[in-house]
Structure 1
Amino acid sequence: MMVMLNPLWIRSAVALAEAGSFTRAAAVLDLTQAAVSQHVGQLETRLGAIVIRRSRRLEWTPAGLALLEYARELEAADKRLAARLADTDALRGALDLVTPGSVGLLLYPLLLDLQRAEPGLVICHRFAPDSEVIDAVASNRSELGIATTRSEDPRLTAMPFLEEPLELIVPAGETVRDWHDLERIGFIDHPDGQAMATRLLSRRFDGNPGVRRLPVRGFSNQISLILEPVARGLGFTVLPRYARQAFDKATHIRVVEGVAVVDTLWLIHRSEWPLSARAGHVLRHLRYMITSLRGE
């Protein structure tokens, strides 16, 4: 196993290759010629001969050329590290974002538009329930997250990002006058269906026997598919508005107007350090585009 090479030795070898002589390399490094020669000797002890001294020029051996290539790779790695630590480039690099599925349907096309306009950005967007969103940000697997509940984790900062109204959605030809109509139509459930339906329907139908008493006509855990059985007349569901707006069969479904229930979506990130420049750039783009879509 090779012992780690002293960076000073490598620096002397690079200067020697660029200057072409020990005398000029020593002048560039502000060292004595003997010191440069000693550094090269230490490298040759580790690697074998790296340079052959000719009367008028130096000839680099295969080991020496491999060393110089290694030095260039180290220099490039140092520059990449410095750039990441400085974090001044908002238009290059990777950003990880995790959100619930409903708002994700709204944001994902906007993120794709931004990435197409700024090809230096690599945006990785994942759908997940609240618990996974919070865990991903808290454990540094994702820089940004959006959650439907405000996290109490002291490691996280949470700020309001967007409001998300809940909607009662039925097949296009259905009419809902009372709770009996819901029982007749039947419920299309999903992972957050019981909780969302309880929050909305408890305000619209006072004294109802509870969502769990409704007949369930189907279930889907894919946010983009939950409205498919509704569009086919198989039942009703309760979903956030952004999920309904992303559904491509708008004429096959209908929103039942009534008492509104609006959830706040929270933007979360780690409290200990500021957002990266690219995270700030992405958030500004999303806020601008969302405002434009609303016509505000």
Structure 2
Amino acid sequence: MFNPQWLRSFAMVAQTGSFTQAADQLGLTQAAVSQHIRHLEDSLGSLLIRRPRAVELTPAGKVLLDYCADMEAANDRLRAQLSSHADSGVVGLITPGSIGLFLYPRLLDLQGKTPGLIIRHRFAPDAESLESVLQNRFDVGLVSLKPDDPRLTASPFSEEPLELVYPANECVHGWDDLQRIGFCDHPDGKAMASRLLSRHYPGNPGVSTLPCRGFSNQVSLMLEPVARGFGFTVIPRYARQAFARQEQIRVLDCHAPVIDRLWLIHRSEWPLSPRVTRVVDYLRTQVPAAV
């Protein structure tokens, strides 16, 4: 790695075309600027062609000037990341797919109103979210189970009921209707269905006895077969709310709902930056608070 002052001297000489002007701009002596260029040329070869009224870059000099621009851009990114400003920089958020479908468009709304803010979002299960926040790959995460790792701070974020969703042209009154319609599965489908159905239909023979009409591991597509009439499914409410064609589905009125709490997590050893705090505060306005 080259001395940053040498690179600044070279870039200023290339910009002004003059050692004298470069020295004036940098507050250095012309001898100091010349020495910086000589150090670089000792390592990289000829960088400048000295002419009476100006200097000209050699091919190696043009490559080094591009490198200087890359380094300056990297420095700008670093300053932005460490900035105390709440309206600029990158914020990384990792969430389960269901609430992620609901939150991501709203995060884009916030980014649209705050041009200096950059949102980086990822869908992930709890285990990946925990690891990503612990390894500082994301600033904050949402998980469905409160972690007991002392390196993480967890605070209640929102609550999300499970919903039994079926085709709009069907009627569901009892277990026989579910048997007739069939089940559309997803990675957490059977577990979610077992929890909800055991409460709504006590003594039922189990979701595994229902005919399976399909499977999808994409949270944004889990209601597609339901809307087309292929079967019912059980999903979190935020995933259902994010589905575009609400008129093609119905939600069963469950008098004994199953409600999961979502937890906001971040590293406990240091406070959230102002920009992350701003995003978190905004997200809390978009969802019902956990009780």
TM-score normalised by the chain length of structure 1: 0.77
Match of 1:263 among 260, 271, 274: 260
Structure 2 counterpart of 1:167: 163
* Secondary structure at the counterpart of residue 112 of structure 1: helix
Deviation, 1:101, is 1.6
| CA distance in structure 2 between the partners assigned to 1:49 and 1:187 by the alignment | 70
1:217 maps to 2:205: no
AA partner of residue 239 (structure 1): I
Q: Which residue of 2 aligns with 1:62?
A: 57
* Structure with max Cα Rg: 1
Report whether the alignment pairs 1:184 with 2:163: no
Distance in 1 between residues matched to 2:68 and 2:220, nearest whole Å: 51
CA contact (8 A) 1:187 1:237 kept: yes
CA deviations on 1:33-65 (whole Å, 9 max, x unpaired) are: 9777766665565555869697xxx85453697
Cα gap change, 1:193 to 1:73, in 2 (>3 Å): closer
Counterparts of residues 36-115 of structure 1 (less than 5 Å): 42=39, 45-46=42-43, 47-48=45-46, 59-60=54-55, 62=57, 77-85=74-82, 87-115=83-111
* C-alpha contact (below 8 Å) 1:15/1:28 kept by paired residues: no
Question: 2: distance between equivalents of 1:8 and 1:112?
Answer: 39
Distance 1:28 1:253 in 2: 70
Q: Tell me the distance in 2 between the aligned counterparts of 1:211 and 1:116.
A: 44
- Please state if 1:133 is matched with 2:129: yes
Task: Report the alpha carbon displacement of residue 157 of structure 1 after superposing the two structures with TM.
Answer: 2.3
Q: Is the 8 A contact 2:47 2:61 kept in 1?
A: no
**1:273 match:** 270
Alpha-carbon distance change, 154 to 34 in structure 1, aligned in 2, over 3 angstroms: same
1:203 aligns with 2:199: yes
- 2:93 is matched by which residue type in structure 1? L
What CA distance in whole angstroms lies between the structure 2 residues aligned with 1:270 and 1:110?
24
Q: 1:157 maps to which residue? A: 153
| TM-score, normalised relative to structure 2 | 0.78
- What root-mean-square deviation, in Å, do the aligned CA atoms of Structure 1 and Structure 2 show? 3.5
2:244 corresponds, among 243, 248, 251, to 248
SS in 1 for 2:265: strand
> What residue ranges of structure 2 are gaps of 5+ in the alignment?
none
Aligned-pair distance for 1:28? 4.5
Deviation at 1:173, TM superposition (A): 3.9
Mapped pair 1:120 → 2:116: yes
Shift of 1:110: 0.5
Query: 3-state SS of the aligned residue for 1:224?
Result: helix
- Amino acid in structure 1 at the alignment position of 2:57: P
CA change 1:194–1:120 in 2 (3 A) is same
CA contact (8 A) 2:161 2:260 kept: yes
Letter in 1 for 2:258: V
CA distance in 1: counterparts of 2:224 and 2:210, whole angstroms: 19
The offset of 1:107, in angstroms, is: 0.6
The residue aligned with 1:237 is 233
Q: C-alpha displacement at 1:73, in angstroms? A: 6.1
The CA deviation string for residues 67-119 of structure 1, in whole angstroms up to 9 with x for no partner, is 7886676566445434433x212222222222222111211210121122222
Show the counterpart of 2:279. Answer: 282
1:131 is matched by which residue type in structure 2? A
